[in-house]
Amino acid sequence: MRLQRFIAQSGLTSRRKAEDLIVEGKVRVNGRMITELGSTVDPKEDVIEVDNVPLRLPDEFQYIVLNKPKGVITALSDPEGRPTVIDLLQGMVKERVFPVGRLDFHSEGLLLLTNDGDLANDIIHPSSKIKKVYEVKIFGHLSEGMLNKLKSGVSYHGTFLKPYSVRILQQLQNKTWLEFTLEEGKNREIRKICAGAGITIDRLRRISIGGLTVEDLAPGKFYFVDRKKLTNFVFYKERTGDGAKKALSTKKYFKSVKRRKDVVLANSDHYYKFRKEHYQSTMKSRKEGEDGGRPLVVENRSPRVKAALEEERFVDLG
């Protein structure tokens, strides 16, 4: 068995990251450092160590479907003491598992965990082209031009990022629900796309990977699934050869942009204060009344908004 495959199947990490560990000189076989990819080992005879910790193949592979809540990190442990996705498993997992891909601290939704490194690598590798669907709530409304810009892709710090598809699911009073579909799923891709377009995200959740969804699974809950069922769902679109460019969600959506005159556009500077780096201080200021407790609205306010402001009341931002 190839060394990187053994490391992956031991449940330590994916095969791609196992290759990095080998190149970095962190892997030893029978006490000898191995840095060349392609080396083979005998799991029954050889002693394989990563950072001086012996590895073994698991007695059984486990596959877990989790609906990650916001405020939990996608990691095995955290030096800052924040809750991790492993904490959510409540000691109910026999083998050591790891997350397949990532969702950042502020994101939520579908996350897979397993100790099957081969399958994890197949799912996250760009060549698999597995479509992942996200529901994203942003501040403000979109113009037709802004929606087209998101669909066409944006440049973020010199990198061009383009989603597979974008559509509007729902327009609230001062926010909008969008649906993003990604094919490769680069690190924090949706957040970077929105930042590149000057748009501030309020909420982001992944609802499906391929044909697998967590729409009926409560946040923080999980269930075990067997490998065959998992692969049938995750690789569903690829197996059927469905190359049609369409979103996987069945939810209704707006075929055209519906603009309201009494809301701020999503790319307005008004919403910068709600970005991650400013959010806590903004909420504290609003709570303490430093900004008069007034919502972010345009100067051309509707009669209902004007009346609310005159009475010093908050207006629901949706």
Q: Percentage of residues in the chain with pLDDT exceeding 90?
A: 45
The letter for the amino acid at 12 is L
pTM of the shown model: 0.75
The string of DSSP letters for 264-306 reads -BTT-GGGGGGSHHHHHHHHHHHHHTTTTT-----SS--HHHH
Averaging pLDDT over each range in 25-29, 98-102, 251-255, which range is the top one?
25-29
Q: What is the pLDDT of residue 220?
A: 94
Among 50-64, 104-118, 206-220, 243-257, the least confident range: 243-257
> What is the arithmetic mean of pLDDT over 190-218?
92
Active-site residue flag, 316: no
**Catalytic residue from among 42, 51, 104, 242:** 104
> What is the arithmetic mean of pLDDT over 149-174?
92
Is the pLDDT at 162 greater than 90? The verdict is yes
Q: Which two tokens stand for residue 207?
A: 């609802």
Sorting pLDDT into bands at 50, 70 and 90, what band is 204? very high
> What is the arithmetic mean of pLDDT over 205-226?
92
Q: What is the pLDDT of residue 163?
A: 95
Sorting pLDDT into bands at 50, 70 and 90, what band is 286? low
Is the pLDDT at 238 greater than 90? The verdict is no
Q: What is the pLDDT of residue 208?
A: 93
Among 188-197, 201-210, 242-251, the least confident range: 242-251
Strand order in the sheet with 53-54: 32-33, 27-29, 48-50, 53-54
Per-residue pLDDT of 52-109, as tens digits, reads: 999 988 888 899 999 999 999 998 888 888 999 999 998 788 778 889 988 999 999 9
Is the pLDDT at 160 greater than 80? The verdict is yes
Q: What is the pLDDT of residue 294?
A: 43
Per-residue pLDDT of 123-158, as tens digits, reads: 888 888 899 999 999 999 998 889 999 999 999 988
Q: What is the pLDDT of residue 288?
A: 55
Is the pLDDT at 279 greater than 70? The verdict is no
Domains of the chain: 3-54 (3.10.290.10)
- Alpha-helical (H) ranges within the chain are 3-9, 15-23, 85-88, 117-124, 144-152, 189-196, 227-234, 236-240, 276-288, 303-310
Average pLDDT, whole number, for the chain? 80
Q: Please, what is the end-to-end C-alpha distance for the chain in angstroms?
A: 55
Rounded to whole angstroms, the Cα distance separating 135 from 247 reads 12
Q: What is the CA radius of gyration of the chain?
A: 23
